[in-house]
Structure 1
Amino acid sequence: MSDPKNPLPGDKHIDATDLILVDVNPEQMFKFIKIREGVGKAIANLRKLTPAQIDRAGLNAGDVQRALDIADEHGRLDAMVPAAEKLTEMLIETRASRGHDLALLLGEIASQARRRGQRDPMGPEILGPLEDLFTYQYGPAQKSAATRAKSGETAEPENEMNRNDG
């Protein structure tokens, strides 16, 4: 793991506390002027200027320094964004994986409880406390079956094997 102030893609800890981050809406993003290729040379050119050269060119020394500070910050952001994007990707994929694992476990738990409840003489006592689990697990299938029954569809799909052409 690298330094959190200088993260690498795959790092789980990113420290951007030294940066003043902004949140803009998409309409504002379209209005922003994009920097182009060659910006590095332009910034390097500003870095080489002496105070006398800045004065002789009639430049505001504060503006030159502000441009250099923003360029440094932009470079830090350039270095952090790939790590932040990878962290976001890993968080989203991990959430999806955990959701998948959870869905599988809920299905297995519901199946086990339903089997036990059907065999056990005290079935309602077993099944009753799990009503919300059963609603979650079997609700979509029950709704689908009800919709098919309402529309007159049969439970068996028609195909070449079960069609009788006479």
Structure 2
Amino acid sequence: MVKRQKTLIITCLVSVIMAVVYMSVVNPMWSEWNEVSRKTARRQREVSRLQRKVDQQRGAPQSLGAQETASRWRMTDAQHTAFLTDRMASLCKQAGMKLESLQPASVVKEETHRTHPVRVNVRGDIQRVVDLLVLINALDGAVEVRELSLHREGKGREIGLEMVVATFGQK
């Protein structure tokens, strides 16, 4: 064989060996690396999307409930009383209680705020009383029960509930 043929054969063998090594070692590693890169890019996009969402929520104006609480804090005494009587009337209706009376009491000036109490007299069965108290509790501090008195009305299952509820305002 001529030297040139030997060189050509060796070159071909080296090329074949390199192709086999590439196909069996490098290509699978490359494919795996590509898959990991795709997954990483997908997760980075998801993190970016979530970060934008968090940034939007942080920069968003106060929720409607927070705005309502802030504006209610600055209401006048008459507005507080009207708010509380309206709210209690609607809660009594929602709970199925019979509203006997709503009597606003005098405003109490405390060190840091003003308390606007209302005396509420209602009647209903025990389940409706519990429903009313749960509804008041769900107001998240907008209305507080200051006094509570239960008494049986007649011989039936009806219960009389007398309570003093209050809302709060700016001093």
Q: TM over 0.5: same fold? A: no
Q: TM-score, normalised by structure 2?
A: 0.32
> Which has the larger share of strand?
2
Structure with the largest fraction of helix? 1
